[in-house]
Chains A and B, each alone.
Chain A
């Protein structure tokens, strides 16, 4: 048994310790927001937070996440249900096309804003370099990150 703390709740899972966290989230726990894209940490669709850091869950053995605080896209909104400023900006700016990569994009962006509340374009280029959007919504992703940063600066929900 491996003990995980996912979005604040403790979960005991009976899986092989080498299983990537992504498949434990998707198949064992039933949280399918983190997506399978490449399996080798090249596309970022599986991005979650482990102790606040953006990690590619497809390449992280579940044993490495034992005891750590894991946040997935399902746990990004506030406990009262208010969406994270990034989620609100993503909806308002209408970022998604197919939408498949977007939970990973948002999780990478959330980790960025946590350590750098006012990112420049260059900061965004670096922080988001690990996330592919095949539909090419990068222009709106950039705009949404800036908009969310501005909202947080004015006291919005981060």
Chain B
């Protein structure tokens, strides 16, 4: 199992390693299951890179079986009355998978979407493969397996109808949850066929025919979210809405500087407060992903718990605690940036120094950005109930499963001592993910509290807890150097990245640059190096980790170079891309220069690149490739009175392969633009004496509706395998707006957020 540091969340690379490991693991399980196929011929097992297990487990499975449902695999259940239930395997945190993943199955099943009832799957990685929300991976990693799941069920239903009619299966067609035989004008609904299909042998996975893209009826359409009605009528849906009989309510107070321990606390006073049932110190195990030391207060209502928390006085032992200071770290980084080359060279080409020496023109810039918080609208929370040696958990988490040292499970089993089979973890919809809920700290806290008391307990963090105990997107610094040749072409590029380390060895999440970072693989002379400064402040994946800040520094600097060369930015960028090719042949997660050029040209064309703009108003362009998505933004921005920035419109062109749910896809892009703008304009944290200085939305100024630009989304209709959209539309926003600000006003923005530079909306 991939080793994950105790003191930081997994980086993107860790996640990728986990995915690979799980795919290998589930493939071996699939083979094991196939050997049982002849025995269990009531079900269909399908292979295809991912395991599709036999049955849903537990009560749901039994209920379906009792009704005589057709259950060809873990995902699909068709009852004799025609109801089609499709399970969503992964956590839903706003990225839309609860709608889009079942759509893929429904397409190949040829089910009418109106007949489909989507339900959240239980946690069973034996049945479903890896269950998590991260890395924009739900669509690409489940695309083929989900199609095969639907197609296998469809093939069995067709076979059942063909046998009933005594006609060849090849003469039967399907549509709208029914099988048809045109020659005899006969039709049987899937419900009518459920009993017969359930008795058929399972077709060989390779024999199941998938649809051609031209035959898709549902995919690519605008489909509204399956939970929309519950959301707009306020039904219980989110983790924080969990209510159990006799439930108590908990808060947990940790040291505001990471690593502080409880020296003493006024527990007797707290226990005497109205509604307080108990208060106690938890020592924790020193792992920020699990349980850090603190004081738990359990009360008969959230408000009584919160009031008691306000009266809590803790003396912290901060001998081991963080003393991080953003002011000091920034000063240190600025000094280091004078060095063109950092401590570790990640990528370099021969003759890089000579290339700079011989250049016609050279440029140096220093870019920086601060720490930021995830600030999910739903604060961290978790409900837990220990009954004897059993533990049940209700958690809005992005990482519910046992993924080795990643997630809550090692804590639940090793530290709390529950046997794995005695723990049930329910995945509940999360009010925003953005990477924050890959950490299960609140799950471990709730479980540790539940282990101490008899009634079920809901732990709710305050907004202040949430902002002070996040896994932050790390701040960072880039000393960039570029060189141009006599023709104004990009000759050489150097990036000294200054970031942070917690374990003294590895960069924090987003703090390790890859050798293939833009534009290194595209030009002859390039160097990437980095220097890591030690910190204790926890960092973790934040929507498009690394990319969300690298894009700002690098794509702004590319524009600086285009300006220095007196070249059109569009033409300059396309020249860097060169001829269409994969940068790593056979790797669908690699940059393809042709796809890049395609979206750059499309965004430019749709935005009217090159047209005359009024004084103080301009277009800015940026491209970025991340999470397998090729995305370009053109921002239309005006700058008034020198510092009033207004983003009027953002035109986005995206190539993420075929679109699954058009509504969800456009929503993710619109949201990424708003999120990107919020971050670029307003968001930043300061850290002093190990403490985050900002506590709530009055000091952490999320973008509001009035500042929201128009967003015009265009998709390239490519035939590449589909990839995810939760993250890749975020990174290009900041540089696109920064580049427009320069063209409109002559002011080059080299640090985020704008609000810290005296500029505002």
Contacts and interface: CB of A to CB of B under 8 A. Distances in A.
Interface of A: 15-16, 19-20, 23, 26-28, 30-40, 42-43, 45, 72-74, 76-77, 83, 86-87, 90-92, 94-103, 106, 124-126, 128-129, 131-142
A101 B237 CA distance: 12
Nearest to B726: A97
Interface residues of B, number: 65
B518 to A, nearest CB: 25
Contact of B377 (A15, A43, A125): A43
B235 interface: yes
Interface of B: 93-96, 222-225, 227-229, 231-238, 240-241, 243, 249, 274, 301-304, 306, 375-379, 429-434, 460, 462-463, 663-664, 667-668, 670-675, 678, 696-698, 702-706, 708, 710-711
Contacts of A30: 243
A65 to B, nearest CB: 14
A98 B302 contact: no
B234 to A, nearest CB: 2
Nearest to B243: A30
Contacts of A23: 301-303
Nearest to B710: A139
A75 B429 CA distance: 23
Contacts of B432: 98, 100, 134-135
Contacts of A96: 94, 225, 227-228, 231-232
B222 A99 contact: no
Nearest to B433: A98
B429 A99 contact: yes
A136 B680 CA distance: 14
A33 B697 contact: no
Contacts of A102: 231-232
Contact of B231 (A15, A76, A103): A103
B234 A73 contact: yes
Contact of A77 (B233, B236, B238): B233
Given A74-B233, A129-B704, A137 B667 contact: yes
A136 B672 contact: yes
Given A87-B232, A87-B233, A94-B667, A27 B706 contact: no
Contact of A35 (B223, B240, B274, B696): B240
Contacts of A87: 232-233
Nearest to A128: B705
Nearest to A88: B232
B301 A15 contact: yes
Given A91-B229, A128-B705, A97 B671 contact: yes
A140 B232 contact: no
B381 to A, nearest CB: 9
B705 A124 contact: yes
B378 to A, nearest CB: 5
A134 to B, nearest CB: 5
A135 B730 CA distance: 12
Nearest to B93: A98
Contact of A129 (B227, B379, B706): B706
Contacts of B243: 30, 32
Contacts of B303: 15-16, 19-20, 23, 27
